Amino acid sequence: MQNSEERVVEANRLKEFCANVLRKLKVPHEEAEITADILVSADLRGIESHGVSRLPRYAKRLMNGWIRPEAKITVRRETPVSLLIDAENSLGQVVAYRAMERCIEKAEKSHLGFASITNGNHIGIAGYYAMMALKENMIGLCMTNAWPLVVPTFGIEPILGTNPIAFAIPAKHEHPFVLDMATSVAPIGKMEVYRRHRKPVPAGWAIDEKGDPALDAETVMRCVYKSKRGGLLPLGGLEETAGYKGYGLSLLVDILTGILSGAAYGPHVGTPEDPKPSNIGIFVGAIDVNAFTPVDEFRERMDIMINSIKASVKAKGQDRIYIHGEREWELEKQHRKTGIPLYIKVWESLRDLARQVNVEFAL
């Protein structure tokens, strides 16, 4: 199904195109593949805010020397269960991917493996790295801080990132549990999508300069990027509905990523438009289920839990209760079959980028 607002693109072709652009910008062959796979994976899973729409920004940063094209993954500190990695401003995807590989190796030998990364860049969907642990039947996790967009409880200045938390946990026959959530009510990427589609922003997602609800994406963008008063609300919203919990989760992520690694935190993380390295902090980890319980029994118990929740009584007008990640697995399956619907402006931005870097564009 194709309409004038979108172009449907085959996933592998899209991935190959992204990799070609990155290679043209001096990203080594395999590192371009990794980055492209992670970007397209977001679109496959229906998270268009973190998918190929980000490529033009990455390209601009690579062209301007604000991101280093070849990955540097310098280990500054290491134990059998932990790593401190200096990404030296490499592509976020490549560093987080390699760090997660190392965590999985550590967890295979020592049951746990956690890495904290400094001097990083935007990593795309945090869930991707957490999901890398699934093929080893491990629990994976990933967090990253991000540029300031969120107001703390009782504050009006956007000084916190949307700082996502992702966990991936294997089941047996059921889809794995994959929680991948910004610690704000909504991520800024969603606001960009709302702006594109001119959709009103629901009350409770963001506040304006006066602290009143911000009900359109333009206002939110002005607050966070121009006036620096007002912005996204932390998960929970205002104080009365426990927004201080989302604020706390955001701080927790900032501490485990920015403060633990020595990267930037909160107000100091660079925006995608800042003409300098972003210095993002990242935290990834792998947990060997077998350290606690036989993994087969664990996976069976996961299935039973998942089924009991899905079988519970639905609210009026609802016919299904979802487990986290379930919609995304289904979308991925569908998109692999029918192609990925790219919003026309995203498609155009890729076409323009292809011209700019002189890469063939046949999407």
- Look-up: residue for tokens 């199904």? 1
* Pairing of the two strands 82-86 and 112-120: parallel
Q: Which of 2, 308, 355, 362 binds its own copies (CB under 8 A)?
A: 308
The minimum distance between CB 314 and its own copies, in angstroms, equals 6
Beta bridge partners of 114: 82, 285
Listed ranges 31-39, 173-181, 271-279, 334-342: which one lies at the site for its own copies (CB under 8 A): 173-181
The minimum distance between CB 165 and its own copies, in angstroms, equals 8
For residues 208 and 179, give the distance between their C-alpha atoms in angstroms, rounded to a whole number. 29
Is residue 155 at the binding interface for its own copies, with CB under 8 A as the rule?
A: yes
**Contact (CB, 8 A) for 183 and 197:** no
Residue 165: closest CA among 146, 185, 145, 181: 181
Structure tokens at 138: 């491990």
Interactions with its own copies, residue window 9-68 (CB under 8 A)? none
Interactions with its own copies, residue window 93-132 (CB under 8 A)? 110-112, 114, 116
x-or-dash string of contact with its own copies, 263-302, rule CB under 8 A: --xxx-------------------x-x-xxx---xx--xx
- The nearer residue to its own copies, 13 or 268, going by C-beta atoms, is 268
Q: Which of 1, 3, 4, 315 binds its own copies (CB under 8 A)?
A: 315
Is residue 331 at the binding interface for its own copies, with CB under 8 A as the rule?
A: no
Interactions with its own copies, residue window 198-227 (CB under 8 A)? 202, 204-205, 210-211
Is residue 344 at the binding interface for its own copies, with CB under 8 A as the rule?
A: no
Amino acid sitting at position 115: A
The minimum distance between CB 79 and its own copies, in angstroms, equals 5
Q: Which of 316, 337, 358, 362 binds its own copies (CB under 8 A)?
A: 316
Is residue 305 at the binding interface for its own copies, with CB under 8 A as the rule?
A: yes
Is residue 72 at the binding interface for its own copies, with CB under 8 A as the rule?
A: no
The minimum distance between CB 155 and its own copies, in angstroms, equals 5
**Contact (CB, 8 A) for 282 and 123:** yes
- Look-up: residue for tokens 């800024």? 188
Q: Is 143 helix (H, G, I), strand (E, B) or coil?
A: strand
Q: Which of 138, 323, 340, 350 binds its own copies (CB under 8 A)?
A: 323
The DSSP H or E segment spanning 245 is helix 243-254
Is residue 153 at the binding interface for its own copies, with CB under 8 A as the rule?
A: yes
* Inter-CA distances, 119 with 96, 204, 257, 297, 348, Å: 12, 33, 10, 40, 31
**Contact (CB, 8 A) for 77 and 22:** no
Phi and psi at residue 9, in whole multiples of 5°?
-125, 140
Is residue 177 at the binding interface for its own copies, with CB under 8 A as the rule?
A: yes
Please give the radius of gyration of the chain, using alpha carbons only, rounded to the nearest integer: 20
Q: Which of 8, 63, 134, 156 binds its own copies (CB under 8 A)?
A: 156
Structure tokens at 16: 């190959």
